[in-house]
């Protein structure tokens, strides 16, 4: 007798979000018009002073931050050091988020170029949208033979075709362990697709990153959903949740794929995270809201939800923060 597949494996093929997740509240034609308009935009917002570190500041922070620490490269790209290991997440470092020269352009350069990325023990990629799975960065990364790549179901061939030797694709709740590091592929409320005809054909995910010293959660892209209480029940406590806080308007579209800053604090609370670090903002203009209101709302939400303003972290692009100070 064939085992029953989990709910997120769509019986009609591909994947779907966990039960109880929000649904799209706009007709498909309206959605496609919105996406087309956003891809054509060339607006460059005025940057707040100190939003990104200069090169010397980036290098000094990485050197001083040590292990454990987190370095924000912009958007959802991080260097995470924990338990003597180095983990890269969603390394989108290119000028635009799309095929070729199409798609929204960065208005802040990445803190490092692909060729300058450190030799990571593990690379985690949460899903195949262009602002998370960046072909140019994946191709230029210089440590393909060394790094273990872990991706959700259906994404492994993207890396194998580009010369990576160690690639694992995982379903939700699968775990991989080596030398004191455990990566658990966890649910997220989002979608996938790099074109019109591959929507939801590959899986999307968040990740738990656990060593003897720290337990860190990386959200990838996600909206709020009931599933985060289950993650908390099974995986808590987390020392840090790295969670998306930007690209959330208009809500009739984005409520099914991206959290608001207020949602992000709710998610951190639901999974049992002591602190939350906001990401997925201040880098590339994906949606029409003010790109710099997210961190303000994030900190205010931490106060309003009794999470604590000091527990809602915001970094400058290129900034490294030691996790020892969070102990």
For residue 231, the SS3 value is helix
152 within some domain: yes
Residue-level pLDDT at 101:
85
For the record, the structure tokens of 157 come out as 């061939």
> pLDDT grade, residue 227 (50/70/90)?
very high
303 within some domain: yes
What is the percent of the chain with per-residue pLDDT over 70, rounded to a whole number? 92
Assess whether pLDDT exceeds 60 at residue 189: yes
Assess whether pLDDT exceeds 90 at residue 323: yes
25 within some domain: no
The CA distance from 87 to 123, in Å, is 6
Residue 234 DSSP label: H
6 within some domain: no
Assess whether pLDDT exceeds 70 at residue 28: no
Residue-level pLDDT at 326:
59
Range of the domain at 187: 58-326
Assess whether pLDDT exceeds 80 at residue 2: no
Residue-level pLDDT at 196:
85
164 within some domain: yes
22 within some domain: no
35 within some domain: no
Assess whether pLDDT exceeds 90 at residue 107: yes
Assess whether pLDDT exceeds 70 at residue 73: yes
Which is higher by pLDDT, 127 or 42? 127
Span 238-263, pLDDT tens digits: 999 999 999 999 999 899 999 999 99
Of 24-38, 123-137, 138-152, 224-238, the range with the lowest mean pLDDT is 24-38
Residue-level pLDDT at 163:
97
Average pLDDT over residues 186-208: 96
Write the DSSP assignment of 267-291 as a string of letters. Answer: HHHHHTBS-EEEES-SSB--SSS-T
Calculate the average pLDDT of the chain: 93
H-only helix segments in the chain: 28-40, 55-65, 135-140, 156-160, 227-235, 251-254, 261-271, 294-304
Assess whether pLDDT exceeds 80 at residue 218: yes
The CA distance from 293 to 284, in Å, is 14
Work out the burial of residue 249: count CB atoms within 10 Å of its CB; fewer than 13 is exposed, 13-18 middle, 19 or more buried.
Answer: middle
Residue-level pLDDT at 172:
98
Span 131-184, pLDDT tens digits: 999 999 999 999 999 999 999 999 999 999 999 999 999 999 999 999 999 999
Contact by Cβ (8 Å): 309, 302: yes
Cα dihedral sign, 138-141-143-148: negative
What lies within 8 Å, CB to CB, of 216 at 6+ separation is 70, 80, 82, 208, 209, 210, 238, 239, 240, 241, 242
Assess whether pLDDT exceeds 60 at residue 32: no
- Write the CATH number for 267: 3.60.15.10
Assess whether pLDDT exceeds 60 at residue 1: no
Of 21-30, 218-227, 302-311, the range with the lowest mean pLDDT is 21-30
Number of domains within the chain: 1
18 within some domain: no
């Amino acid at each position: 007798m064939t085992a029953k597949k989990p709910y997120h494996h769509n019986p009609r093929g591909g994947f779907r979000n966990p039960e109880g997740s929000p649904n799209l509240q706009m007709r498909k034609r309206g959605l496609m018009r919105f996406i087309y308009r956003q891809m054509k935009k060339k607006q460059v917002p005025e940057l707040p002073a100190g939003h990104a570190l200069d090169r010397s500041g980036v290098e000094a922070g990485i050197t001083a931050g040590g292990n454990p620490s987190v370095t924000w490269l912009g958007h959802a790209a991080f260097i995470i050091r924990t338990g003597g290991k180095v983990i890269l997440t969603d390394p989108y470092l290119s000028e635009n988020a799309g095929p070729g020269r199409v798609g929204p352009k960065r208005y802040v350069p990445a803190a490092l170029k692909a060729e300058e990325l450190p030799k990571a023990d593990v690379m985690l990629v949460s899903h195949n949208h262009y602002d998370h799975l960046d072909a140019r960065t994946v191709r230029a990364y210089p440590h393909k033979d060394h790094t273990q790549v872990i991706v959700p179901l259906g994404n492994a061939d993207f890396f194998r075709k580009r010369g990576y030797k160690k690639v694992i694709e995982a379903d939700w709740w699968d775990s991989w362990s080596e030398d004191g590091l455990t990566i658990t592929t966890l649910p997220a409320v989002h979608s996938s697709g790099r074109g019109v005809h591959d929507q939801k054909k590959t899986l999307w995910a968040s990740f738990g990153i656990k060593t003897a010293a720290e337990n860190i959660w990386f959200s990838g892209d996600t909206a709020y959903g009931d599933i985060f209480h289950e993650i908390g029940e099974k995986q808590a406590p987390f020392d840090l949740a790295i969670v998306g806080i930007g690209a959330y308007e208009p809500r009739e579209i984005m409520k099914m794929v991206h959290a608001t800053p207020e949602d992000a604090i709710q998610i951190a609370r639901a999974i049992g995270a002591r602190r939350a670090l906001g990401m997925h903002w201040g880098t590339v203009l994906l949606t029409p809201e003010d790109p710099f209101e997210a961190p303000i709302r994030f900190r205010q939400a931490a106060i309003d939800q009794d999470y604590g303003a000091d527990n809602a972290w915001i970094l400058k692009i290129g900034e490294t923060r030691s996790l020892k100070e969070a102990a």
